[in-house]
Every structure is written in C-alpha cells, then in structure tokens.
C-alpha cells in the first residue's frame, strides 16, 4: 500500500497565493519561453538565439550554460526547466556534424512535451546587421504566413500553430494603432521556410486607412524543416480545450442586418382577442329583457337537442 503523500499547508498568505497562482487558471498568463544552448552552438545560432530572445523579451529567459542534452532523445531536461521556470515554449540550439546549425522550437502542455520541430538554419542575418531603428520591447507583432503549404500539410499546419504560439506574444483586447509596428512573416516554399521580420511604417493614403510600407529589421533566416515530434491529435485537442466560461454562447433570435441594425425575434403565445376585456360602457350592456330572451332561446334549443339525443356539452362547443 502506498503511504499517504504529505500535503503541506502553506503557512503564510503569501505562500498560499504563490501556490494558487501556480494552479491552472481560466485566463492564463502570457506563455513564457526559455532559450537553451546545446553542447556546441556555432556563432550563427548563438546570434539567432539572442535575437529570438530579444523578440520574446520580457517573457523569456536565456539559460547561459551549455547543456549536453539531445531533446529528440530525452525531453526530461526541457520538461524539468519548463516546470521550474513556468515556461511552456523553448528554443534549443545545437551544432553537430550530422545536423549543422540545428534550432529546435517546441512547446509544452502541462509541462509535458506537446510539439517539437527541428529547423536547419541555412542562411542567417542577425538583427545587428540591419542598420535601422528597431522596435520597442514587448510589442505584439503581426504574423503573416505565405504559401499554400501551411494549410495543406498536416505537419506544416502544426508548425504554423507552433510558430503563432511562439511569436504572437499575448492576447490583447485593445491595441494602439500606433503600436502596430512589427510584422514577422513566414513563407513556406521550395522546401524551405523563410522567416523575415519587418518594421511597419504607416504612410498617408488620402484615406482613413494608411498605406503600409515595411522595412526589414531582422532577424532573417532561411530554414529547412528536419525532424519533428508532434503530439498526437488527441493530446493536441485536449490541450486546445477552452474553459466553458470563455466559450461564446450563441445568441438565439438576435440578428444584425447589413446596416448594423439589431433585430430580435420574439415568440409570444396566441392571444384571444375576442375574449379580451375592453372598456366597459353602459351603452353596450345588455338590458334585463335582452338577457331573459337569450336565456329562453338557449333553453329551448337545449330541450330540442336533448330530445334528439345530443348532450348539452356538445351543444356548448358548437355554440
């Protein structure tokens, strides 16, 4: 029989809060990333890692030591560090003879590996090579994916999801129009993935919407997709499950037409208009004589029908 695991009660309110914060939340914080160097990292990848770190700051941590691990053989290192740093995205750079300039991008779900892809960097230009004013820290970028491969191949679909996860930064309810100044584009064609990063300039167009001009700020990388380790569709589906609270309920009977007018459809029960009590007026009242006459007529009819075998109940319904 296993012994009962000791569950320590937090002694301070601060400790309690810290523990509560670590528990799953309905609305989650921004995902954090950590950057790891492998046993050997060439200058190219070192620059790339640094640039990625600069793009992800402040939700990122750069591990300074070299680590002799092979993520495709053993993921425990990454899972351990993910848990330790509460980070769910990672980038791992290594350089070997077999796989030169190898960049591994991946993500964890519940501190277990979800997806991991290996990218061979063939050409790279670091951010420092571009002599242009850079963007601010922590800006939410626009992400552009070019190419039909992204939506056609399952592997690429997942890689696209991973890249969006890695670079989209955070969900925002509002964004300043002047803050839209960065775009990262990923183009998949010719068996390669081209990553480019540009600064956006909003120019006058004579209209409300500006004319967009872009200028490259780096990093720019030409990469080839190598090995992948993608989580099963089941796992991916469970990981994507949204809390019920956040799911949008479909509103019934409310529509908006082309002009933006809201229409509601109301269902009401049938109204018996002929029985409605309207304003009482003396003039419409039946006199005593009239009522008496009515009664006698009814009585007579009833007597006649009783003679012919029809009950009074039916008579009433017919009347």
Partner 1 sequence: MDIVNEVLQKAARDAEKFKPITVEKHLEVDLDPGNLLAFDTNEVEVAKLRSNSEEYLKNLTRDNVQILLNKVWELPTRRVEECVVVELPKPSYIIPRSLPVPKPREPTKWEKFAKEKGIVKTKKSKLQWDEVLKKWIPRFGYKKAAAEKEKDWVIELKGNDDPMEDQFEKKKKIKRENVAKNELQRMRNIAAARKIKVPQAGMVSADRLSSKDLHKAATIAKSSTASGGKFQASLPKEKPARDVRNLMPIAPPPKKRKAIITPADEKKTTINIIDKILNKTPRLDIEAAVNRELFNQDSERAEEKRSQKPKAGRGGKKKGGTTGGKKGRGAGKPQVARGGKAKGGKDAKGGKGGKQAGRGKGKRR
Contacts to partner 1 from residues 188-247, by CB under 8 A: 188-190, 194, 196, 198, 200, 203-214, 216, 236, 238-243
**For partner 1, which is the closer residue by CB, 2 or 58?**
2
Span 267-296, contacts to partner 1 by CB under 8 A: none
**For partner 1, which is the closer residue by CB, 100 or 210?**
210
Span 74-113, contacts to partner 1 by CB under 8 A: 88, 107-110
**For partner 1, which is the closer residue by CB, 137 or 298?**
137
**For partner 1, which is the closer residue by CB, 37 or 166?**
166
| Least distance from partner 1 to the Cβ atom of residue 200, Å | 6
CB-neighbour burial class of residue 100 (10 A; exposed 0-12, middle 13-18, buried 19+): middle
| Least distance from partner 1 to the Cβ atom of residue 315, Å | 53
**For partner 1, which is the closer residue by CB, 234 or 272?**
234
Q: Counting contacts by CB under 8 A, is residue 59 touching partner 1?
A: no
DSSP β-ladder status, 60-66 and 262-264: unpaired
Residue from 11, 24, 261, 319 that binds partner 1 (CB under 8 A)? 24
Q: How far apart are CA 182 and CA 175, in angstroms?
A: 13
Q: Counting contacts by CB under 8 A, is residue 183 touching partner 1?
A: yes
Q: How far apart are CA 189 and CA 64, in angstroms?
A: 34
Write a three-state SS string for 25-58: CCCCCCCCEEEEECCCCCHHHHHHHHHHHHHHCC
Q: Look at phi and psi of residue 19 and say left if phi exceeds 0, alpha if psi is from -120 to 50, else beta.
A: alpha
The phi and psi torsions of 252 (rounded to 5 degrees) equal -85, 150
| Least distance from partner 1 to the Cβ atom of residue 88, Å | 4
**For partner 1, which is the closer residue by CB, 178 or 269?**
178
Q: Residue holding tokens 């039946």?
A: 286
**For partner 1, which is the closer residue by CB, 246 or 284?**
246
Q: Counting contacts by CB under 8 A, is residue 143 touching partner 1?
A: yes
Structure tokens, 246: 């956040």
Geometric angle at alpha carbon 28, from 108 and 104, rounded to 5°: 25
Nearest C-alpha neighbor of 55 from the set 111, 127, 2? 127
The phi and psi torsions of 270 (rounded to 5 degrees) equal -60, 135
| Least distance from partner 1 to the Cβ atom of residue 249, Å | 12
| Least distance from partner 1 to the Cβ atom of residue 147, Å | 5
Is-contact 109 230, C-beta < 8 A?
A: no
**For partner 1, which is the closer residue by CB, 99 or 109?**
109
Total residues binding partner 1 (CB under 8 A): 74
Residue from 12, 174, 261, 277 that binds partner 1 (CB under 8 A)? 174
| Least distance from partner 1 to the Cβ atom of residue 3, Å | 7
Q: How far apart are CA 195 and CA 118, in angstroms?
A: 15
Q: Residue holding tokens 């190419």?
A: 147
Identify which range of 56-64, 172-180, 250-258, 272-280 contacts partner 1 by CB under 8 A.
172-180
Nearest C-alpha neighbor of 240 from the set 140, 115, 151, 145? 115
CB-neighbour burial class of residue 204 (10 A; exposed 0-12, middle 13-18, buried 19+): exposed
Identify which range of 71-79, 180-188, 261-269, 309-317 contacts partner 1 by CB under 8 A.
180-188
| Least distance from partner 1 to the Cβ atom of residue 52, Å | 18
Span 25-44, contacts to partner 1 by CB under 8 A: 25-26, 28, 31
């Amino acid at each position: 029989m296993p012994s009962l695991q000791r569950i320590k009660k937090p002694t301070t309110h601060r400790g309690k809060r810290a523990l509560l914060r670590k528990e799953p939340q309905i609305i989650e914080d921004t995902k954090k990333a950590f950057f790891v160097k492998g046993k050997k990292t060439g200058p190219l990848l070192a620059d790339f890692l640094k640039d990625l770190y600069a793009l992800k700051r402040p939700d990122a941590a750069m591990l300074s030591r070299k680590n002799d691990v092979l993520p495709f053989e053993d993921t425990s290192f990454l899972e351990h560090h993910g848990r330790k740093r509460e980070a769910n995205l990672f980038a791992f750079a290594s350089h070997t003879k077999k796989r030169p300039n190898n960049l591994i991008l991946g993500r964890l779900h519940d501190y277990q590996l979800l997806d991991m892809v290996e990218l061979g960097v063939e050409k790279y230009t670091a951010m420092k090579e571009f002599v242009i004013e850079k963007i601010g820290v922590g800006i939410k970028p626009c992400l552009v994916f070019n190419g039909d491969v992204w939506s056609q191949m399952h592997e690429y679909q997942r890689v696209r999801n991973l890249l969006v996860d890695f670079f989209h930064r955070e969900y925002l309810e509002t964004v300043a129009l002047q803050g839209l100044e960065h775009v990262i584009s990923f183009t998949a064609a010719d068996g390669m993935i081209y990553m480019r990063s540009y600064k956006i300039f909003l120019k006058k167009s004579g209209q409300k919407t500006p004319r967009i001009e872009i200028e490259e700020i780096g990093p720019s990388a030409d990469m080839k997709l190598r090995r992948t380790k993608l989580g099963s569709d089941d796992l991916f589906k469970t990981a994507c499950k949204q809390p019920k609270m956040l799911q949008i309920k479909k509103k019934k009977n409310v529509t908006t037409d082309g002009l933006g007018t809201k229409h509601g459809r109301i269902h009401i029960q049938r109204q018996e208009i002929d029985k409605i009590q309207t304003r009482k007026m003396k003039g419409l009242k039946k006199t005593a004589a009239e009522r008496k006459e009515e009664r006698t007529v009814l009585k007579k009819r009833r007597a006649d029908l009783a003679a012919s075998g029809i009950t009074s109940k039916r008579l009433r319904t017919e009347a």
